[in-house]
């Protein structure tokens, strides 16, 4: 860690993600002296390759705009590079390196053959017209297309990248290569997309939560669940929770939090879903509804009493104070939809309190898992029914849970899911790297 801090002093998110993994796998790593002889951990801490480029595009007023674009290909020991693309003004190399690093271990947990990658740009689709987004996506892929491919690197969505953006990127990729291939996942259903991919991350997180609750014989119905975010992951998390009888008591976006003291009804959820998906509205537009309170500039954690928290917006959105507030209110479980939403201090609080705490690389792996299933369907030129994909997703989440238990269960019965997920993911990648030599 000291060496990495000296080499990459300006990459706090990346150092945070690496530190969590290396400290939690230390014991297992030291059981295999051959790993150290091959300098395996240091190799695994450095991405295989980083591609960075300027993206120039023309806005609706004829002005030339410039953004940075990146793809971090972290590790392909167990399968082609695979991971989302993020379009957000905050995107930088530290964030993409942390996400690609996490993706490698997450993808190893899915039981499918996928390596880890992440890409993106500091371009923000917010407030841009469809045609501006299209021109940006085309300019982005114009640089990236040579470095991706169905057996090389398969991008998908993440923050700011949904079906619209994937469609535009796929269209330009197809034009450049003159091939129709499964190079992107999260595609539209009419051109190779998988049923259930939009729902997969949120549903998968709820399935993971159900697996955790089952170890304690706790029922989800009637539980108060604080969710953050109001994008792809948060909305499908909320939808599944409501269907299973839980009370969704919060949602948020980058401007503030919506608190629903009695829990969202299916009808109210429909209103939020419509607002967010049909015209990309803001939660603040619901401020005058009598069933909710809107708190500008606030995160939900200290505003509600919740049994369960499912942070599903962004990294470091739940800090030590938030964690202590949740625990003081009797929170029994935290299942992360976002990548690294809890700060190290918050993680420490959850582990110390021995509640059910699932790190994103385990609990949000349903999204990339169904991406893997989309790749499998594309290769076969077949598509499976929603029920088939959902059943496979449930099976994968149960398998990830079992892997966490295998490596994370302690003598007193407590499961440290952080250690479990990191160790299980690491061991699979490590074995594959050892077998393939110094590459």
Q: What is the set of active-site residues? A: 118
Judged by CB under 6 A, the chain residues 145 through 184 that form the site for ligand 2IT are: 156, 158
338 binds ligand NDP (CB under 6 A): yes
The angle, 0 to 180 degrees and rounded to 10, between the axes of the packed helices 12-30 and 417-436 is 80
Shortest gap between Cβ of 47 and ligand NDP (angstroms)? 17
Total residues contacting ligand NDP (rule CB under 6 A)? 25
Closer residue to ligand 2IT in complex, CB, 84/256:
84
Shortest gap between Cβ of 259 and ligand 2IT (angstroms)? 27
Choose the binding region for ligand NDP from 128-136, 139-147, 224-232, 408-416 (rule: CB under 6 A).
224-232
Choose the binding region for ligand NDP from 4-12, 223-231, 326-334, 382-390 (rule: CB under 6 A).
223-231
Q: Residue of minimal CB distance from ligand 2IT?
A: 84
The alpha carbon dihedral of 316, 321, 324, 325 has a sign of negative
Choose the binding region for ligand 2IT from 41-49, 78-86, 329-337, 400-408 (rule: CB under 6 A).
78-86
Choose the binding region for ligand 2IT from 126-134, 280-288, 327-335, 363-371 (rule: CB under 6 A).
363-371
367 binds ligand 2IT (CB under 6 A): yes
Which of 76, 185, 343, 363: binder of ligand 2IT (CB under 6 A)? 185
84 binds ligand 2IT (CB under 6 A): yes
Which of 159, 225, 397, 415: binder of ligand NDP (CB under 6 A)? 159
375 binds ligand 2IT (CB under 6 A): no
Contact 183, 148 (CB under 8 A): yes
Closer residue to ligand 2IT in complex, CB, 159/331:
159
Q: What would the two tokens of residue 308 be?
A: 């369960």
371 binds ligand 2IT (CB under 6 A): yes
Identify the DSSP state of 329: T
Pick from 230, 265, 231: nearest CA to 247: 265
Identify the DSSP state of 187: -
Q: Which does 160 bind (CB under 5 to 8 A by kind): ligand NDP, ligand 2IT, none?
A: ligand NDP
Burial class (CB in 10 A: 0-12, 13-18, 19+), 151: middle
Which of 48, 165, 239, 253: binder of ligand NDP (CB under 6 A)? 253
Q: What would the two tokens of residue 189 be?
A: 């259903």
Q: Residue of minimal CB distance from ligand NDP?
A: 231
For residue 25, the surrounding DSSP H or E stretch is helix 12-30
For residue 43, the surrounding DSSP H or E stretch is helix 40-45
368 binds ligand 2IT (CB under 6 A): yes
DSSP secondary structure letters along 106-144 = HHHHTSS---EEEEEES---TT--HHHHHHHHHHHHHHH
How does 111-123 read in b/e, with b if 16+ C-beta sit within 10 Å?
Answer: bbbbbbbbbbbbb
CA distance 395 to 417: 18
339 binds ligand NDP (CB under 6 A): yes
CA distance 129 to 430: 45
73 binds ligand 2IT (CB under 6 A): no
Pick from 337, 371, 361: nearest CA to 112: 371
CA distance 61 to 169: 22
The residue with tokens 């590790």 is 75
| Ordered strands of the 293-296 beta sheet | 293-296, 256-259, 247-253, 224-227, 308-310, 333-335, 356-358
CA distance 394 to 206: 10
Q: Which does 159 bind (CB under 5 to 8 A by kind): ligand NDP, ligand 2IT, none?
A: ligand NDP
Contact 172, 142 (CB under 8 A): yes
Q: Which does 83 bind (CB under 5 to 8 A by kind): ligand NDP, ligand 2IT, none?
A: ligand 2IT
Choose the binding region for ligand NDP from 14-22, 152-160, 264-272, 300-308 (rule: CB under 6 A).
152-160
Q: Which does 239 bind (CB under 5 to 8 A by kind): ligand 2IT, ligand NDP, none?
A: none
Q: Which does 369 bind (CB under 5 to 8 A by kind): ligand 2IT, ligand NDP, none?
A: none
Shortest gap between Cβ of 414 and ligand 2IT (angstroms)? 27
Number of H helices, E strands in the chain: 16, 12
Judged by CB under 6 A, the chain residues 278 through 337 that form the site for ligand NDP are: 312-314, 337
Shortest gap between Cβ of 135 and ligand 2IT (angstroms)? 23
CA distance 318 to 46: 27
Contact 332, 79 (CB under 8 A): no
CA distance 93 to 99: 10
Q: Which residues bind ligand NDP (CB under 6 A)?
A: 88, 90, 157-160, 162, 201, 229-234, 253-255, 312-314, 337-339, 364, 367
Contacts with ligand 2IT by CB under 6 A lie at 82-84, 103, 106, 156, 158, 185, 339, 367-368, 371
């Amino acid at each position: 860690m000291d060496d990495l801090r000296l080499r990459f002093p300006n990459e706090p998110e990346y150092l945070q993600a690496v530190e969590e993994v290396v400290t939690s796998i230390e014991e297992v790593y030291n059981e295999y002296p051959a790993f150290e002889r091959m300098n395996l951990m240091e190799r695994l801490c450095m991405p295989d390759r980083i591609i960075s480029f300027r993206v120039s595009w023309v806005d609706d007023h004829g002005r030339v705009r410039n953004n940075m674009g990146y793809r971090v290909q972290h590790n392909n020991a167990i399968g082609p590079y695979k991971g989302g693309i993020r379009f957000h003004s905050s995107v930088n190399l530290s964030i993409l390196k942390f996400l690609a690093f996490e993706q490698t271990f997450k993808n190893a947990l899915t039981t499918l053959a996928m390596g880890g990658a992440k890409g993106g740009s500091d371009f923000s689709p917010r407030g841009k017209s469809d045609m501006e987004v299209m021109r940006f996506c085309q300019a982005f892929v114009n640089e990236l297309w040579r470095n991706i491919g169905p057996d090389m690197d398969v991008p998908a969505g993440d923050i700011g990248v949904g079906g619209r953006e994937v469609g535009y990127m796929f269209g330009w990729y197809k034009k450049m290569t003159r091939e129709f291939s499964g190079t992107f996942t999260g595609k539209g259903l009419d051109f190779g997309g998988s049923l259930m991919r939009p729902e997969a991350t949120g549903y998968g997180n709820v399935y993971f939560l159900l697996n955790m609750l089952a170890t304690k014989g706790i029922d989800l119905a009637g539980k108060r669940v604080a969710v953050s975010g109001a994008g792809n992951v948060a909305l499908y998390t909320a939808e599944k929770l409501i269907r299973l009888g839980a009370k969704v008591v919060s949602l948020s976006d980058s401007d503030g939090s919506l608190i629903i003291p009695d829990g969202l009804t299916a009808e109210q959820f429909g209103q939020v879903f419509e607002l967010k998906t049909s015209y990309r509205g803001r939660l603040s537009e619901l401020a005058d509804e009598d069933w909710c309170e809107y708190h500008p500039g606030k995160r939900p954690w200290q505003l509600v009493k919740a049994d369960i928290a499912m942070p599903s917006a962004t990294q470091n959105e739940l800090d030590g104070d938030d964690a202590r507030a949740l625990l003081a209110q009797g929170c029994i479980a935290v299942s992360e939809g976002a990548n690294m939403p809890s700060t190290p201090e918050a993680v420490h609080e959850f582990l110390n309190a021995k509640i059910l705490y699932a790190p994103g690389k385990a609990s949000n792996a349903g999204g990339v898992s169904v991406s893997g299933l989309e790749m499998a369907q594309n290769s076969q030129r077949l598509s499976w029914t929603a029920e088939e994909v959902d059943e496979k997703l449930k099976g994968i989440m149960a398998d990830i849970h079992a892997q966490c238990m295998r490596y994370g269960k302690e003598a007193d019965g407590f499961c440290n899911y952080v250690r479990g997920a990191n160790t299980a993911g690491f061991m699979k990648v490590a074995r594959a790297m050892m077998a393939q030599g110094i590459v």
